[in-house]
Structure 1
Amino acid sequence: MKLSSILLLPALLRSGLAYTELSDDTLRTLPRPGPDFDIKNGALLAPILRTRVPGTPGSEAVLDHFIDFFTAELPRWRITFQNSSQVTPVSNGKAVPFKNLIATRDPPWAKNEGDVGRLALVAHYDSKLTPEGFIGATDSAAPCAMLMHAARSIDAALTSKWDAIAAEGVESIDGLDEDAHKGVQILLLDGEEAFHFWTHDDSLYGARSLAEEWEGTMNAAMSTYKTPLHSIDLFVLLDLLGAKQPRIPSYFKTTHWAYKRMASAEHRLRKASLLKSDGKSFFPEAQKGEKDQWLGGYVEDDHVPFMARGVEVLHVIPNPFPSVWHKIEDDGEHLDIPTCEDWAVITTAFAAEWLDLEGHFETKQTKRSIHEDNETWAGEKTELFD
């Protein structure tokens, strides 16, 4: 990503989306990554902490890690790829391959691609070519692991919600409440980093290709959403996360309400002592007003090709950048793991609230009720056989 003085004007916010806060009991139930974020052996994070320049074996290995994760742990998610190849300033005229992974979970009654509006949770998985051996732990190995954790954490609740709706006899998406039309996508993008020097041509390779392709891909004629691009209700981009005491500005007026929602989730988690990092808020601009400064396109990142086409963006990137930005020190040893874990939980809470999953997580109270029901049932069975 690059700091820029360009101001990109986002389109009008798609308003009216339902958004239900999680109860304190549900917040307490949200899982933490724990050992999965161990930098040496963690099942989610460790395999990403390696060089992964596009078109190299390291990149392929990390992509395989993502595929294995969704295939083994989240089989209900549909995995697709959007591939492109482009010549870079250092490739000597040869085309470099770029591979974007898209993992999608839509309601089971959505028969057509254009039936569902989606929350897109996004990070780039490539690492910078220089300095040699650059890992890019905050940039953006850790954000990728955070999204994997969030996807896994909401999966069962999504199933519970949709099973409950289906139990009412739903046969099609027509006539359902608005929240029943919601789906979610994890976009793991390739080629964000510049190979030589950041320009509009030498950067955002995967994002530029995907945004262009989705803009030109037409859904079925009677679809609610004209293209895959139109189906993105909100594009939430995580980048440069994993250092201590991040300060996330609210960059865009039209998504400030979503920024405040994420800030509220963090505040409630912190108030309930469910976060491990120090007590300073990651979101200091929740009270920002109309007359305050809005940075707009000050930071160029993977959101730019999407926002230029009218997609609404919540850019979760700190200002100032971490001190290790684009330095060899941006490795696993320089991550603050409590902060990484907190980001994973905050992202999970935000996604769960966006998708209206309150009441569909197995909370301690739910487990206790199930246990009590089982005990009652067992007692009744004993009496029957006495």
Structure 2
Amino acid sequence: MAPLFHLLFPILLPLFPTLTTAWTDLSDETLARLPNPSDTDFDITTGALLSPILIPRVPGTEGSLKVLNHFQNFFATKLPYWKTSTQNSTATTPTSNGAEIPFVNFYATRDPPWAGEGNVGRLVLVAHYDSKSTPEGFIGATDSAVPCAVLMHAAQAVDEALTRKWENMRVKGLAGDGLGDGDGHEDAYRGVMILFLDGEEAFHSWTNEDSLYGARSLANTWESTPHTALSQRKNHLSSIDLFLLLDLLGSKSPTIPSYFPTTHWAYTHMATLESRLRQLNHFLSHKTSPNPWFFEPATKEEKHSMMIQDDHIPFLARGVEVLHVIPAPFPRVWHVMEDDGEHLDMPTVKDWARLTAAFLAGWLGLEGFVEASLPVANGGAEEAEDVTSGAVRGRGLRLKTEL
């Protein structure tokens, strides 16, 4: 992640309509029924989702390939209805001595079974999976192994409910005709994508050329890849209704500003979900992170007054709507060797997984389709221990100068 800018950065106005109606409020019962993030998935040494990512994974290395295989195996075995793809590119870097470094972006999509790809609007949940090349052996637990595992959990948490919803729509004749006509039911053409980007980190020092390798390549490719002539969405880029980017998550007491006015509505939905999950005693971090993570800046001048360079930049510059979930200030472990599994605040990690799954369920309109699991999820049943290091406390917006 990279430098902070005030809004002097040239940003295009959104090219696609803001989908502010893409939301269904979830009942307390549904929030309680969402699968509970567990040690089985998030233990730093044995967790099925997180532990395989807690290794150095610099682009083009064996560690990077291992993590890619982890993603592929997860969707193939746990979520077989999701369609997986990769997008490949190469580039020289300031440290590669002229050699081309491979970058591989991985994404998995789940769309309504009756919908053609060019007619689907998606919530795209994003994290980068590469780790910084220096210092040698750097893990990058918050940056961004945890966000990757959180997105895997969210996908798994809603998958069965999404299947039930789409089958219900089919039976009731609400599935549309496959051409973008949902017979008045706008979510008949609403899908989801999990996107893991490669090459976010700079190899030497952050510049427009030495950063965001995978994101720059993918945004360009999707912009230039058209859908079929009769599609409602002209290209792959225009299929993104919201680009939700998670980064630097897993330290305690984060504070998440609202960075963009056009997606403040989505920020507000996430803030409301956080508040409700706390009130319903489903958050584990009530001791280590007692204050709300999402907050309104104190003044109009502070609100939407900053930008952090990250993987959203190439998409934002092409008019894609972005919700950037990244703490300000950054965690104190940012870009140092202590950004490893031992320095994560695990109650906070699990709460991010639960909150992200709830946001995805709300976006996909899964109220009434989440069935109770055994045991019913209840984050309040587990006591959070204050045993790990975390983020710098405070509500100030004074940030480090680069990510």
Global fold match (TM > 0.5): yes
Q: Deviations over 1:65-112 (max 9, x none)?
A: 0000000000000001110000001111010000000100000001x2
User: Which deviates the most, 196-205 or 18-27?
Assistant: 18-27
When normalised by structure 1's length, the TM-score is: 0.91
SS of 1:250 mapped into structure 2:
coil
CA contact (8 A) 1:242 1:339 kept: yes
User: Which deviates the most, 121-130 or 33-42?
Assistant: 33-42
Q: Is 1:99–2:104 an aligned residue pair?
A: yes
Q: Is 1:199–2:207 an aligned residue pair?
A: yes
SS of 2:332 mapped into structure 1:
coil
Q: Is 1:344–2:348 an aligned residue pair?
A: no
Distance 1:134 1:316 in 2: 23
1:252 aligned to which of 260, 264, 267: 260
Q: Is 1:11–2:13 an aligned residue pair?
A: yes
Query: What's the counterpart of residue 21 of structure 1?
Result: 25
Q: Is 1:232–2:243 an aligned residue pair?
A: no
Runs ≥4 residues deviating over 4 A = none
Cα displacement (A) at 1:171: 6.1
CA contact (8 A) 1:144 1:188 kept: yes
> Unmatched 5+ residue regions in structure 1?
368-386
1:317-336 to 2 correspondences below 5 Å: 317-336=326-345
User: Which deviates the most, 113-122 or 26-35?
Assistant: 26-35
Q: Deviations over 1:270-317 (max 9, x none)?
A: 0000001123111012x777x342345521000000000000000000
Query: What's the counterpart of residue 143 of structure 1?
Result: 147
Q: Is 1:312–2:321 an aligned residue pair?
A: yes
1:208-223 to 2 correspondences below 5 Å: 208-223=216-231
1:104-143 to 2 correspondences below 5 Å: 104-110=109-115, 112-143=116-147
Q: Is 1:158–2:162 an aligned residue pair?
A: yes
SS of 1:2 mapped into structure 2:
coil
| Percentage identity across paired residues of the two chains | 59
Q: Is 1:167–2:171 an aligned residue pair?
A: yes
Query: What's the counterpart of residue 278 of structure 2?
Result: 270
SS of 1:235 mapped into structure 2:
strand
Aligned residues: 363
CA contact (8 A) 1:11 1:312 kept: no
The 1:62–1:15 alpha-carbon spacing in structure 2 relative to 1, beyond 3 Å, is closer
Please tell me the residue identity of whatever aligns with 1:87: T
Distance 2:70 2:373 in 1: 32
More helix as a share of residues:
1
Q: Deviations over 1:168-215 (max 9, x none)?
A: 244623243101110000000000000000000000000000000000
Query: What's the counterpart of residue 379 of structure 1?
Result: none
Aligned CA RMSD, in angstroms, stands at 1.6
The 1:10–1:288 alpha-carbon spacing in structure 2 relative to 1, beyond 3 Å, is farther
Q: Deviations over 1:25-82 (max 9, x none)?
A: 0101111221110001000000000000000000000000000000000000000111
Highest CA radius of gyration, 1 or 2? Answer: 1
Cα displacement (A) at 1:247: 0.3
CA contact (8 A) 2:182 2:188 kept: no
Distance 2:279 2:52 in 1: 33
Please tell me the residue identity of whatever aligns with 1:326: H
Distance 1:16 1:48 in 2: 34
